[in-house]
Amino acid sequence: MLRTASCGFGYLAMSGLAGAAISGLEPRPPRLHARAQRVIFLNMAGGPAQLDTFDYKPQVGQKPHAGSIANFKRRGSSGLWVSDMLPNIARHADKLCVIHSMTADTSIHAQSMLQLHTGDRLRSSPSMGAWVAYGLGTENQNLPGFISFNTAKPSEYAAAQLPAVFGGTPIGVNGEDMSKATISNISSDHLPLGVKRRQLDLIQEMNRNHAILRTNDAQLEGVIQTMELGFRMQAQAPELLELSRESKATLERYAVGKNYAVGTCKGSDFGRQCLLARRFCEAGVRFIEITHGSWDQHTDHRRDLTANCATTDAPIAALLSDLDERGLLDETLVVWGGEFGRPGLTPGADKDQTGHQHRAFSFWLAGGGVKAGHVHGQTTHDGSSVADGAVHFRDLHATILHLLGLDHDNLAVVSGGRRIRLTGLEGGKVVSAILG
């Protein structure tokens, strides 16, 4: 009765409308040659200490500088320096492309984290995962284009000025128990699937009639598409989150359920995030972010650094191994880093403290068309600034988009009279020296 009284002929066209509702996430061919099909971003929130992980600065001379406190070795045939605190990742040194010369605009956590994700440190803008989904769609119409695990703030996975359907779908928030984390608001077990489909058809019918009066309303269209996506996700997403079918050996390799819970190291079940990232990658999700925090170790630096490295080392190594063995690493760009780095400890100092370092810090990339076993850029003798090959967040963004076959200059929308893109008004440069 409601259908005929309020919506009339709209219901008859619902099958066609359902197809139109997913058009925003349909796969789109890249404009440029694409080396990568998808991205896994390993977000080390808080500022990893680059001098104690990848940028080796031995403490030498009559006046020792604030160098590395960890022991380092050259690894693999490439001879990359990797800290002894990361023994499992060290075995993958020949897969890594390490950038020692990253720079950001600020050492304020919130602003630099926003800039890392959106290119803008002050205003709400689309996250890079949203831009990737906007540019390429998704490979699996039953899943979002962008998944964000253990996220901290909505601004880090927001669609902002893009239609809502391109925003990240959060799973787990601020270190909650990942074994119980679900995708919110996609299940209603009290109704059979057929009834839920008819219920959604009625709602979407009314939404479409409402949209007729508001032409070119991208946000409204995004909500309509998101509701359709939410229904389709009920069939596949819960199965991907369920790890009971994984072997005991796999769970142990990823250290699922294990946390090194001391100091600032939060119990985020990082191993579960990495294993889920592999599963969502295999299922066709375009951009997957997983987060470990916090590397913001101002005091008890050695203790907390040890904890953070111990928690993340084995899961990341397992992820790289699985991607490589399954033939996915060549087409998956893995990115590791945080919103900035940290200066080294002064040798002999009584206090085990570090601060924030945004003028020079390290990232690494693997797979997806970057040079393997390669180092780009160089810092000064004490790691306090970039000596050669500076790479700003805008340049990193431009390079990620380029590897996906997207032109960072032209991937843009106009909102409020302002042209918005991931690389901002200043633009970025593709770091061609790291391309394979």
**Domain extent listing, the chain:** 27-152+246-434
Pairing between strand 412-415 and 146-151?
unpaired
Write out pLDDT tens, residues 11-69.
Answer: 333 333 333 333 478 889 998 999 999 999 999 999 999 999 999 998 765 455 668 88
d(CA 81, CA 90): 9
Omega before 127 cis (within 30°)?
A: no
Comparing 206 with 291, the larger pLDDT belongs to 291
pLDDT of 240 reads 83
Which residues, other chains included, contact 418 with Cβ-Cβ below 8 Å and sequence gap of 6+? none
Evaluate if residue 112 carries a pLDDT over 80. Answer: yes
Write out pLDDT tens, residues 302-315.
Answer: 889 999 999 999 99
pLDDT of 345 reads 75
d(CA 116, CA 399): 13
Residue type for position 341:
G
Is the CB of residue 24 less than 8 Å from the CB of residue 222?
yes
- What's the rounded mean pLDDT across residues 422-433? 95
Domain 27-152+246-434 belongs in CATH node 3.40.720.10: yes
Q: Alpha helices of 213-327 — where are they, by DSSP H?
A: 218-241, 248-253, 270-282, 301-325
Q: What percent of the chain has pLDDT over 90?
A: 58
Neighbour-count burial of 348, counting CB atoms closer than 10 A to its CB (0-12 exposed, 13-18 middle, 19+ buried): exposed
- What's the rounded mean pLDDT across residues 82-86? 97
Write out pLDDT tens, residues 355-393.
Answer: 899 999 999 999 999 999 999 999 998 899 999 999 999
pLDDT of 52 reads 95
Is the CB of residue 76 less than 8 Å from the CB of residue 345?
no
Is the CB of residue 229 less than 8 Å from the CB of residue 144?
yes
Evaluate if residue 183 carries a pLDDT over 60. Answer: yes
pLDDT of 213 reads 75
Comparing 234 with 357, the larger pLDDT belongs to 357
- What's the rounded mean pLDDT across residues 394-406? 98
Evaluate if residue 188 carries a pLDDT over 60. Answer: no
Using DSSP's 3-state secondary structure scheme, residue 130 falls into helix
State the Cα torsion 186-191-193-199 to the nearest 10°: -80
pLDDT of 219 reads 66
Evaluate if residue 81 carries a pLDDT over 90. Answer: yes
pLDDT of 266 reads 52
End-to-end CA distance of the chain: 62
Average pLDDT, rounded, for the chain: 85
Q: What percent of the chain has pLDDT over 70?
A: 78
pLDDT band per the 50, 70, 90 thresholds, residue 428: very high
